[in-house]
Amino acid sequence: AAKAAGKSAYRRSTPALRESAVSRAELIADLRRAVDEEQLRLEFQPIVDLATGAVRSAEALVRWRHPRLGLLSPARFLPLAEETGLILPIDRWVIKEACRAAATWQDRVPTATVAVNIAAAHLRRPDLIATVTEATAGAGLAPRALTLELTESALIEGSDAVLDRLGQLRELGIRIAIDDFGTGYSSLSYLHRIPATELKIDRSFVSRISDDARAYATVEMVTRLADAFDLGVVAEGVETERQHDAVAAIGCVQGQGYRYGRPAALAELRAVLTKAALPGGGGSSR
């Protein structure tokens, strides 16, 4: 049976996965070199203010330019990185690069922020605080310009030490977003304990918002919850005009998705930030 399953998995898999199945050890060795050999790169996806269309924020998303396999998405290599612990140097590189990028936006949009994804393993590390403060200070970036995105599952396994660490990060001014909100096991008591600054409503709800009353109700409920808790709220994965209209009508504050822009190179994101900051003039919205 294992053989049959292996065979069908082989047939269904993409070229990159087929190759990695042939030599998993090799891929791990490659990944170990990826940071030092500058094969990782960041793309930035705009996060827009739904009422004004202004872009003041972007999420940094990592990609791996593999020497033989080409450009790999996070889904292709992050599971392996997490298994091997290589996620730590990768995330450290991402935090540092994202801070350097955001520092170059400040002259255009002084309130611009950058969001980075943090693996569960990183949350358990006491040196997370040093990693983050060295990255912001090194880039000359104010801590309030950096958002750490954490998933519910990463937070749920969090000990008191993790909560303390998050509290310290908040005291430094770092923002904390709960990513893919609604897909984990969030309870209300837990939301009281996490010092979050924003909720990111998972794409699975947003994608069904126009034809599924429960998905609509979920987006509405999370938006009200965020308002009541005085948290920011971002609708993830907005692809269509209808989805945009629905999340905007509900009163969700920010949106992210292909409707507004795909993850793009740093220069492209910088151009979008500039363009969005100019119309409307006066800068009264901030």
Judged by CB under 5 A, does residue 179 bind Mg ion? yes
Residue with Cβ nearer Mg ion (179 or 220): 179
Per CB under 6 A, the list member of 46, 232, 237, 255 interacting with ligand C2E is: 237
Q: Nearest approach, Cβ of 262 to ligand C2E (angstroms)?
A: 7
Within residues 152-211, the interface with ligand C2E by CB under 6 A covers 179-180
Per CB under 5 A, the list member of 45, 117, 207, 218 interacting with Mg ion is: 117
Residue with Cβ nearer ligand C2E (123 or 277): 123
Judged by CB under 6 A, does residue 263 bind ligand C2E? yes
Per CB under 6 A, the list member of 39, 74, 163, 168 interacting with ligand C2E is: 74
Per CB under 6 A, the list member of 119, 141, 154, 272 interacting with ligand C2E is: 119
Reduced 3-state DSSP string for the chain: CHHHHHHHHHHHCCHHHHHHHHCHHHHHHHHHHHCCCCCEEEEEEEEEECCCCCEEEEEEEEEEEECCCEEECHHHHHHHHHHHCCHHHHHHHHHHHHHHHHHCCCCCCCCCEEEEECCHHHHCCCCHHHHHHHHHHHHCCCHHHEEEEEEHHHHHCCCHHHHHHHHHHHHHCCEEEEEEECCCCCCHHHHHHCCCCEEEECHHHHHCCCCCHHHHHHHHHHHHHHHHCCCEEEECCCCCHHHHHHHHHHCCCEECCCCCCCCECHHHHHHHHHHHHCCCCCCCCC
Within residues 227-286, the interface with Mg ion by CB under 5 A covers 236
Binding mask 83-112 for ligand C2E (x = CB under 6 A): ----x---x--x------------------
